[in-house]
Amino acid sequence: MFLIYFFISYIYFFTAFSESLLIAPGDSWIQNYPLRHYYGEMLKNGDFSFWLPFEFLGTSLVGIMQAGVFYPLNLIYIILPYAQAFNISLILHYALAALFTYMYAKTVNLKSIPAFMAGLVFGFAGFLMAHKGHTSMMNAAIWLPLVIYFFEKIRITLNYKYVIWASIIIAIQVFAGHFQITVYTLMFLAFFVFFYRLKMDRIQGNRFIILSAITVMVGVILSSPQIISSFELSKEAWRLDQGYNYFIEYSFPPYMILTFFFPFIFGGGYGGEYWSIWNLTETVAFAGIFPLILGVVVFYIHKKKNIHIYFWGIAIILTFILALGGYTPIYKLFYHIPVYNMFRVPARHWLEFNLAISILFGFGIQYLLYDIKERSIFIVKSIKFYVVTALCLFGVLIVFKSLVGSTFINSSIQERIAYSLSLNNKAFYIPLIFIFCYLIWLIFVKYFKGNNLFLVLSIFMLVSFEVFSFGRFHDSNWIEMNKINDLEEVDSSLLYFKE
């Protein structure tokens, strides 16, 4: 399964390998690639130091958490040339994200095909693909489903061996280099433990809480070299204690819910220049049109029948509220939570949201393909919800269209809205094609009497094309490797940093 996911990841970025491009948009080119180049060079030359002499008058290399000094997967920079290692590491992490989601999905009784589809959605759409330029953030985020996998194992077996594994994975996530993602993971774990504890008897539930607490404690101890070093360096950071307005920066604007269905409707990708608030990387939550709709339908129909569906449905609601950030009054309470209030960009909660959507989508595919008794009822309700969603979406689009000619909005914004909602805009008509194709597939499933293989292949192709239509074209301004070939030959790291 890992090889299949890795091959899909390679296909996503085939152009980068065939045309010798470095997949390093935004922050990756500014900081993440140079840090890893320097890190790999030191390891290869055998002169490793925890001190970085080339920024300011010198600073702690290990304290710069995003360098990932202790991150095991960064050892790839010893084996391969730095640019190739950077690209291979990227596609490796996407494959692992999908694999870890598949592993968890199997533990909650999904069959191989639905579990595979869940991994496909989480690994190759939404948050992870949007943040390919935030290398350390993406590296840390992929471990979330594996942490959940081991906590589910702890819940089921109450076995100490899974405590050990889970604590190691928590430490690895810290070492990956983005502490905000680790904090979000620990918060999600707290919700996980609290939710499932309510469904267990007193003795087993208390044991589950104790094992969970031990797991987190051991994980923190294992990662303490990174935590302590970064805490010391953070005393010099200007981004701490910037106040409430900084805390809610990059909250998700409610009107951008359109990007759930039209990810580039406000620009970006093949939708032209981005023109909405903040930026597309931090705000987009696209996980696929059908995965979102099917996930919501599954929660609505089966929340009382399946505890896992109930959990992930509640997770969708909670993480959506958190992503809204400053647009909800309740978020002011979160500003008083220690550690959590150190971070901005509430929209980064789309990480947990996307994982929840992918798991519920897996359940939906399982009901459609394998539950013959409920298939007909499930499809009818799915089609009804699909049509209602389409009508609501159409109504929202009409409202947006009515803004053209309004005296309350300047002419340049009106022109952008008019173009965004025209059939000449790929960002508008491509999602419409997928909406139509998914509806046809649902209708076809209702009357199909043949082998499931055709249904599996057809939905796999549809979902693959849709997530590709987002992930491949978001942040695709990559660097030509011939521009950095000279840098690869430089012996002195100082000259490299100057360049």
**Rounded Cα–Cα distance for residues 321 and 254 (Å):** 10
If you average pLDDT over residues 358-385, what whole number do you get? 88
Q: In degrees, to the nearest 5, what angle opens at C-alpha 219 toward C-alphas 215 and 222?
A: 140
What is the DSSP annotation of 71-112?
-GGGGHHHHS-HHHHHHHHHHHHHHHHHHHHHHHHHHTT--H
| Distance in angstroms (rounded) separating the CA atoms of residues 39 and 496 | 12
Cα separations in angstroms, 227 against 164, 439, 480, 494: 19, 49, 35, 28
pLDDT digits (tens, 9 = 90+) for 128-149: 999 999 999 999 999 999 999 9
Contact 231, 326 (CB under 8 A): no
What SS3 class is residue 22?
strand
pLDDT level of residue 373 (50, 70, 90 thresholds): confident
pLDDT digits (tens, 9 = 90+) for 75-84: 999 999 888 9
- In the prediction, which pLDDT does 490 show? 45
DSSP letters for 405-426: T-TTS-HHHHHHHHHHTSTT-H
What residue has token string 């008083």?
336
For 184-255, list the strands marked E by DSSP.
none
* pLDDT, tens only, 209-248: 999 999 999 999 999 999 999 999 988 888 777 889 999 9
Please tell me the predicted confidence (pLDDT) of residue 410. Answer: 73
User: What token pair was written down for 328?
Assistant: 């909800």
The more confident residue out of 410 and 428 is 428
The Cα 225–Cα 62 span in angstroms is 9
Q: What is the pTM of this model?
A: 0.93
The rounded percent of the chain whose pLDDT value lies above 70 is 95
User: Taking 50 as the threshold, does the pLDDT of residue 88 lie above it?
Assistant: yes
Average pLDDT over residues 289-299: 93
The per-residue pLDDT for range 49-62, each reduced to its tens digit, is: 888 887 778 899 99
